[in-house]
Amino acid sequence: MTKSPSPAFEIDEHSIGWIIFDDPERSVNVLSESVMRRLAEATDEALRACQEARVRAVVIRGKDDSFIAGADINLIGSTEDPEIAKESIELGQEIFSGISSLPVPTIAAVHGACVGGGVELSLACDHRVLSSSHHTTMSLPEVQLGILPAWGGTTRLTRLIGLRAALDMLLSGRKVSPTEAKAIGLASAIIPAATFHTSVKGFAQTILSNKRGSRAKKRPGLGKLLDATPLGRSIVLRMARKKVTKRLGEQYPAPLAILDVLTRTMGKSVAEGLSAEASHAATLLVSPVCKNLVHVFHLRQMSKKGTGLPVDSVAEPSAVSKIGVLGAGVMGGGIAQLAASRGLVTWMKDIEHAAVTRGLQHARSLIRKKVARHRMTTREARQAMDRISGGIAYHGLSGSDIVVEAIVEKKELKKAAISELEEYLSDDCVIATNTSSLSVKEIATALQQPQRFCGMHFFNPVHRMPLVEVIRAPETSDAAIATTYKLALNLGKVPVVVSDGPGFLVNRILGPYMNEAGFLLSDGASIKMIDSSA
Q: Active-site residue numbers?
A: 457
d(CA 191, CA 184): 17
What DSSP letter does each residue of 25-91 carry, written as one string?
A: TSSS--B-HHHHHHHHHHHHHHHHHHHTT--SEEEEE--SS-SB--B-HHHHHH---HHHHHHHHHH
- Is 241 buried (19+), middle (13-18) or exposed (0-12) by CB count in 10 A? middle
Beta bridge partners of 131: 191
Helix axes 353-372, 330-341, angle to 10 degrees: 50
Among 347, 355, 354, 359, which Cα is nearest to 387's? 347
d(CA 120, CA 110): 12
d(CA 464, CA 458): 10
Which residues have a Cβ under 8 Å from the Cβ of 475 and sit 6 or more positions away? 441, 444, 450, 451, 453
Question: From start to end of 385-507, where are the E strands?
Answer: 388-391, 402-405, 430-433, 453-458, 467-472, 494-499
